[in-house]
């Protein structure tokens, strides 16, 4: 018996498709992730290779690399994050629209790597929430593709409608301050 779902979980009745709103929204989101590359060190070369014809990240609906945070929904932090750059990474993350996801690519972005110095942030998760970590120094493009597939699985299982209807924390703070 085949239990695999095709596209999104749906039921076709005549010319009408019946499904859950979460399934449709998550199917659209997971197949149209627009990454914003934060190439900070040598991992950025592997990130660029993932976009080339040999690895072809476009097979997964992620070929639209956006260099504007207002057009991206996934930040790929590739490389060493210094304390000086951490503030910029956080600001760019805050400028991204919701929902947004972060991938820490490589040992340096995940844990500071081999750099145990006063200038290196020991993991980008200290300034932005990370959804998927990629190990390696530098990780291969295949590892990035694997991480992006894992991110797609995470997006597929989100409770999208609840998140859409939930009140945004910044709006709530502003309303509390005004009253």
Buried b (16+ CB within 10 A) or exposed e, 38-71: bbbbebbebbebbbeeebebeebbbeebbeebee
Is residue 24 one of the residues assigned to a domain? no
Is residue 37 one of the residues assigned to a domain? yes
Is residue 110 one of the residues assigned to a domain? yes
Instruction: Name residues of the chain where pLDDT drops below 50.
Output: 6
Is residue 46 one of the residues assigned to a domain? yes
Pairing assessment for the beta strands 10-13 and 16-19 based on DSSP bridges: antiparallel
Task: Report the C-alpha dihedral over residues 105, 110, 140, 44, rounded to 10 degrees.
Answer: 40
Residue 59: which domain range? 33-178
pLDDT value at position 63?
A: 76
Is residue 12 one of the residues assigned to a domain? no
pLDDT value at position 61?
A: 76
Terminal alpha carbon distance of the chain:
58
pLDDT value at position 13?
A: 63
């Amino acid at each position: 018996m085949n239990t695999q779902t095709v596209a999104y979980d749906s039921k076709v009745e005549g010319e009408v498709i019946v499904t859950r709103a979460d399934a449709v929204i998550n199917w659209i989101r997971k197949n149209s992730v627009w990454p914003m590359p934060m190439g900070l060190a040598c991992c950025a070369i592997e990130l660029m290779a993932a976009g080339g014809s040999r690895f072809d990240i476009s097979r997964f609906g992620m070929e639209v690399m956006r260099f504007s945070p207002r057009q991206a929904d996934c930040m790929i932090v590739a490389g060493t994050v210094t304390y000086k750059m951490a503030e910029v990474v956080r600001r760019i993350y805050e400028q991204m629209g919701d929902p947004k996801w972060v991938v820490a690519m490589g040992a340096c972005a995940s844990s500071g790597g081999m750099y145990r110095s006063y200038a290196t942030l020991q993991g980008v998760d200290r300034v932005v929430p990370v959804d998927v970590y990629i190990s390696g120094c530098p990780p291969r493009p295949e590892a990035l593709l694997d991480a992006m597939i894992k991110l797609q699985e995470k997006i597929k299982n989100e409770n999208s409608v609840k998140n859409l209807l939930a009140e945004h924390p910044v709006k709530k703070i502003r309303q509390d301050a005004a009253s």
